[in-house]
Amino acid sequence: MLNVLIGMAIIIAAGIGWRMVLGQTSAENVRTHLTQAVYHIFLPALVVHVLWQFPVGLNTVRIPLVASLSVLLSLLAAFLLYGNGKLVAAFMPGNSNKAVGALLLASAFGNFSYLGLPVLTQTFGTWAQVVAIHFDLLASTPILFTLGIILARHYGKAGDAMHPLLSLLQVPAIWAAVAGITLSLMAIPMPDWLDTTLDTLSAAVVPLMLLSVGMALRWQSGWMARIPVLLPVIIIQLALMPMIAWSASLGVGMPEDYLAPVVIEGAMPSMVLGLVICDRFKLDVGLYAEAVTLTTVLSLFTLPLWLELLS
């Protein structure tokens, strides 16, 4: 995995360098367009392509169940630590609610697609993409766009009036997942021309996601003083969640060849998409960005450790 992570780190570093060259405002505009292209075109194509070819069975239930337990129990742990606001108030007085909301999201929702897909693909092969897709789109994303949005509204501002379930229905990859599973269940053969088209579109997902991650990473002055506030996020995302995923996988009888990809998926750093949600509901975007940056950098060291443990 070390060689894989080095290669991925170089692409992420290219994204960081690109941000520095363009400047923050221009880089954010470029990153927004990149992520929109992945979000609306390339990722849905990958999801349909993978799930259409994946036979629906017990693993279609096992992986989302493990993912749901991982996210919900991590969210519970974060709420027990941050929910009363005392930890945040001790280091960030006057900004408790906005910070608590950002920290809850950063603790429970990992970068399961934007980093999970590349890591699993490069480490285990293209077959493992189905783990990332099931983990994210059939579990984490529905929880994010329901319970996650409710929490963001509670700790931030109401944002738009759209119901969380309606927001979930506007995620293109969710519809792609439904289409892929349906086509697989109906055993409809994939036409060669469509297979080639979807494969070509899918190939763009990994590099664009990694570039987007690099362009999203940023520091704020005085970040060292906020390390005590961010430390629980780091522990929950990079240690507790993969432990929960491992235990839950054993509990549901996860096949041996799926165990390592599922646990590694659970060890992903905080999700980049949370920046958009924090901005939308006026949570502490800067603090969330620091959580993403710290957990992403540290995951380059923790992911090989988890793989070694699983070996």
Number of Cβ within 10 Å of residue 271's Cβ equals 32
pLDDT, mean of residues 102-119 = 93
Contact partners, residue 74, CB within 8 Å, separation at least 6: 107, 108, 236, 237, 240, 241, 244
Tens digits of residue pLDDT in 226-271:
889 999 999 999 999 999 999 999 999 999 999 999 999 999 999 9
Number of Cβ within 10 Å of residue 255's Cβ equals 11
Q: How far is CA 13 from CA 216, 218, 244, in A?
A: 11, 12, 30
Tokens of 41: 């075109």
Residues above pLDDT 70, as percent of the chain: 95
Cα distance between residue 281 and residue 285, in whole Å: 10
- Number of DSSP helices (H) and strands (E) in the chain, helices first: 19, 0
Q: How far is CA 25 from CA 29, 31, 82, 120, 125, in A?
A: 6, 10, 32, 32, 36
Cα distance between residue 261 and residue 241, in whole Å: 14
> Whole-model pTM?
0.88
Residue ranges covered by each domain of the chain: 2-306
- What CATH architecture does domain 2-306 belong to? Up-down Bundle (1.20)
Q: Closest by alpha carbon to 282, among 143, 160, 147, 106?
A: 160
Three-state secondary-structure class, residue 160: coil
pLDDT value of residue 113: 87
